[in-house]
């Protein structure tokens, strides 16, 4: 078989590279227009002052401002929190949930549906619901906590609690990840568990030696994409800030993102504010490059993994 | 005997835990619904159960906001967006999965990279281009790019297409089928679940998208989508949590209904995103 294939390629295989180019051409055009060009233009604008009307050379001004901008430090710190706390919490909870569901004997389909559904709720709807549920004085969540004698904080109004509140929201909407984990857990060959059990391995030992190695690629994929989404975290934080503070956001309004006290400010929001509300396009481009660099680090990690698995295939 | 008792206890514990968690997952939707049916005054109290069932809150939401307009805009965005995405992404995924050419792996890795690129990175120059074309304050800057392929959809389709055994397509080619005929007659019928999943994901992505419309839909409420309108709803009806909750429910309901009709497609599609590759 292999020797036949390595001889002269069959007639219908000829010119495959050219035909591939034809099929790929719309996408290549898309990549050039929506990826390559804007990236180059972003670099160009980052050296200019631009308010939509006048474009003037700024040299390194925007970059110098970046180093002095306290909001960059704040948003970097917030993003770091999301990466260090929210992503692991969401991933581990999803894994635990998946472990539980695949073990159930009754009602698996129903439970899976219930856990999956919240991940489909539109971000705006889910965030508003949580701000309402967790409002300090009348919200059901604090009433629930009061049953146990706990006085709940002003979740979305307290800088110390706003990020944990969004973490709860992320746990509620973890269904997508949990379903992926469920599929991965079901793919682990049963006989491995049986062999481990015969060798006297307990539940934890089985998890460490059988489950974890088998699902490691899926876990890694989920964690890395989770981190990349944390770096671009925008809608939940923006909507929570807006609804909790009661502010409207229209051009010219005084709404600054990150309420309460910039505790929910992330780089994408600050970029949006600088570019599209304050019309400092040049500076927004510098922020965009920072965002690009940050997400590239994690994307490369993912690419490296894909390269490996593709090479093996 | 002892082992059996332990198994039974474990069974009970697992199912009890699942039930508690399921109740907690459902609770937000329950309270959302209950609050949506309260009067203005009651929604501001700590009551959990409506004293009277105000079904006309939904009618009031329609009357007081442009919800119908937003729904129409969202349907245009999500409908055209999904259609364009399928038309443009299926051929690309087909080429990436089936053709052998130099740079195939690089092209695939580029798709993954594009998928992971935060949309905000390229926002400024693109906004300026759309403004030059006079298309800002419309949803076209969000819809038109989908004519040239969507990275996530290409990725997902490609992951599925590589699992179709080569023998099928090779046989079709030997029989003299053109590439296009092979795609339409051999590949697409086999890839129906993946195509359906991609269509649903893309539709939901557009339906839920907040960042895109915030950037491009402009300040006029007539041009907004549901997500954008909903996020601003509370600011205009600040003391009326009941109406905000009713609007939230109205925005969420269609998604839930679609899900119940297409549950299998979803679960299979989600599995595809994580396990392969």
**Residue A243: inside a domain, yes or no?**
yes
- A147 & A245 share domain: no
Cα angle: A161, vertex A166, A170; to 5 degrees: 145
- A289 & A269 share domain: yes
SS3 B188: helix
- According to the model, what pLDDT value does residue A267 have? 94
CA separation, residue B228 to residues A78, A221, A227, A290, B206 (Å):
24, 31, 25, 27, 12
Contact B48 A303 (CB under 8 A): no
A197-207 pLDDT, tens digit each = 888 888 889 89
- A57 & A157 share domain: no
Q: Show residues of chain B in contact with A24, CB under 8 Å.
A: 92, 95-96, 107
List alpha helices for chain A, DSSP H. 2-6, 16-31, 37-45, 61-68, 70-81, 87-103, 108-116, 123-133, 140-146, 162-172, 175-187, 190-198, 203-206, 212-231, 235-245, 267-272, 281-312
- A62 & A87 share domain: no
Q: Which residue of B has its CA nearest to A214?
A: B275
Contact A291 B118 (CB under 8 A): yes
- A241 & A283 share domain: yes
- According to the model, what pLDDT value does residue B277 have? 39
CB of B179 within 8 Å of a chain A CB? The answer is yes
pLDDT per position in chain B (277 positions), as tens? 588 898 899 999 999 999 999 999 999 999 999 999 998 888 888 888 998 899 999 999 999 889 999 999 999 999 999 999 999 999 999 999 988 888 888 898 888 888 888 999 999 999 999 999 999 999 999 999 999 999 999 998 998 898 888 888 888 888 888 888 888 888 898 888 889 989 999 999 999 999 999 999 988 889 999 999 998 887 777 668 899 999 999 999 998 898 888 888 877 777 777 644 3
- A65 & A183 share domain: no
pTM: 0.91
Range of the domain at A247: 53-69+234-312
Q: Show residues of chain A in contact with B256, CB under 8 Å.
A: 117, 120-121
How many domains are contained in chain A?
Answer: 2
- According to the model, what pLDDT value does residue A161 have? 95
- A190 & A263 share domain: no
Convert B234-248 to b/e letters by CB count within 10 Å (16 or more is b): bbebeebbbbbbbbb
- A204 & A108 share domain: yes
- A155 & A246 share domain: no
Q: What's the gap in Å between the CA of A120 and the closest CA on chain B?
A: 7
Residue that finishes a domain, picked among A169, A184, A217: A217
**Residue A4: inside a domain, yes or no?**
no
Contact B210 A234 (CB under 8 A): yes
- A63 & A86 share domain: no
- A133 & A176 share domain: yes
Q: What is the CATH number of the domain that holds A81?
A: 1.10.3720.10
- A61 & A120 share domain: no
**Residue A37: inside a domain, yes or no?**
no
């Amino acid at each position: 078989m292999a020797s036949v294939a390595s001889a002269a390629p069959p007639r219908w295989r000829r010119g495959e590279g050219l035909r591939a180019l034809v099929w790929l051409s719309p996408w290549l055009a898309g990549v050039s227009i929506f990826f390559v060009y804007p990236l180059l233009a972003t670099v160009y604008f980052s050296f200019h002052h631009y308010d939509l009307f006048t474009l003037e050379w700024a040299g390194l001004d925007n970059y110098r401002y970046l180093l002095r901008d306290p909001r960059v430090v704040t948003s970097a710190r917030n993003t770091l929190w999301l990466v260090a706390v929210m992503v692991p919490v969401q991933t581990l909870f999803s894994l635990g949930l998946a472990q539980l569901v695949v073990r159930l004997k009754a009602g698996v389909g129903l439970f899976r549906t219930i856990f999956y559904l919240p991940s489909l709720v539109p971000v705006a709807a889910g965030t508003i619901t949580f701000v309402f549920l967790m409002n300090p004085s009348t919200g059901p969540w604090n009433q629930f906590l009061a049953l146990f004698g706990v006085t709940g904080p002003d979740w979305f109004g307290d800088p110390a609690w706003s990020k944990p509140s969004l973490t709860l929201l992320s746990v509620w909407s973890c269904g997508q990840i949990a379903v992926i984990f469920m599929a991965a857990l079901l793919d682990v060959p049963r006989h491995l568990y049986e062999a481990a059990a015969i060798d006297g391995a307990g539940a934890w030992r089985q998890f460490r030696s059988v489950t974890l190695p088998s699902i490691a690629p899926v876990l890694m994929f989920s964690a890395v994409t989770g981190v990349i989404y944390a770096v671009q975290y925008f809608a939940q934080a923006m909507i929570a800030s807006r609804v909790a503070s009661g502010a409207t956001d229209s051009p010219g309004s005084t709404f600054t993102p990150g309420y309460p006290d910039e505790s929910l400010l992330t780089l994408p929001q600050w970029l949006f504010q600088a570019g599209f509300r304050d019309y400092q396009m040049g500076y927004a481009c510098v922020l965009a490059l920072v965002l690009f660099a940050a997400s590239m680090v994690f994307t490369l990690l993912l690419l490296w993994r894909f390269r490996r698995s593709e090479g093996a295939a | 005997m002892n082992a059996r008792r332990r198994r039974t206890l474990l069974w009970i514990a697992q199912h009890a835990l699942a039930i508690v968690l399921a109740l907690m997952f459902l609770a937000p939707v329950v309270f959302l619904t209950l609050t949506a049916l309260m009067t203005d005054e009651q929604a501001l109290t700590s009551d959990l159960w409506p004293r009277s069932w105000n079904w006309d809150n939904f009618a009031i939401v329609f009357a007081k906001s442009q919800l119908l307009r937003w729904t129409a805009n969202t349907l245009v965005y999500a409908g055209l967006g999904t259609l364009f995405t399928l038309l443009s992404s299926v051929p690309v995924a087909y080429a990436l999965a089936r053709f052998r050419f130099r740079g195939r792996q690089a092209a695939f890795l580029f798709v993954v990279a594009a998928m992971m690129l935060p949309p905000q990175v390229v926002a400024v120059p693109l906004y300026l281009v759309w403004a030059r074309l006079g298309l800002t304050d419309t949803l076209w800057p969000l819809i038109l790019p989908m004519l040239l392929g969507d990275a996530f959809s290409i990725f997902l389709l490609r992951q599925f297409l590589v699992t179709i055994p080569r023998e099928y397509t090779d046989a079709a080619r030997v029989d003299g089928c053109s590439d296009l005929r092979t795609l339409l007659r051999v590949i697409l019928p086999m890839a129906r679940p993946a195509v359906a999943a991609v269509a649903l994901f893309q539709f939901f992505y557009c339906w839920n998208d907040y960042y895109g419309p915030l950037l491009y839909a402009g300040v006029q409420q007539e041009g907004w989508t549901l997500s954008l309108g909903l996020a601003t709803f509370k600011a205009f009806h600040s003391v009326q949590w009941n109406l905000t909750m009713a609007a939230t429910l109205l925005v969420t309901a269609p998604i839930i209904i679609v899900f119940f009709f297409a549950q299998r497609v979803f679960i299979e599609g989600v599995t595809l995103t994580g396990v392969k590759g």
